[in-house]
Amino acid sequence: MSRGEADELSSFAVSGTSGGAVVCAVTGEIDISNADEFAAQLARAATRGREVVVDLSGVTFLASAGIRVLIDAAVGGASGRLAVVTSPEIETIVRICGLGAYAPCRPDREAAVRALRPPGCAEPTPSTDR
């Protein structure tokens, strides 16, 4: 039985920074077969900046194992702060597991980056990236 994707993340790419945050774009399916790899990639990306946006808008299936990775990263990671870009495909599991209580979940990258900063705090320009 090998019809689905799984096992290896279809892709996990650090696509640079947005408003000072490291943006990781993930595609494919995340379940227990690749959650450890997802955690490792996320930890690696987190070394590149204090704020991380995990863009899951290209993820077509997210199991609770993937949510556990994100919660662990948001709570215990050395990454500073974490925001998540969700999509309709994964909003059910995000809701059930209460990911929003650990990291802001937003429908697009701009909103996710904004959610990392308290209101009134000016967004740094690209030239002043930390």
Which residues contribute to the site for another protein (CB under 8 A)?
Answer: 1-7, 29, 31-33, 35-36, 61, 63-65, 67-69, 71, 88-89, 92-93, 96-97
Shortest Cβ 59–another protein spacing (Å): 13
Contact residues for 92 (Cβ-Cβ < 8 A; gap 6+):
none
Tally DSSP H helices, then E strands, for the chain. 4, 5
CB-wise, 3 or 130, nearer to another protein?
Answer: 3
CB-wise, 31 or 110, nearer to another protein?
Answer: 31
Shortest Cβ 100–another protein spacing (Å): 15
Q: Are 116 and 21 in contact (CB under 8 A)?
A: yes
Shortest Cβ 39–another protein spacing (Å): 8
Longest CA pairwise span in the chain (Å): 53
Selection from 13, 9, 60 nearest residue 32 by Cα: 9
Shortest Cβ 5–another protein spacing (Å): 5
The two structure tokens encoding residue 107 = 């429908």
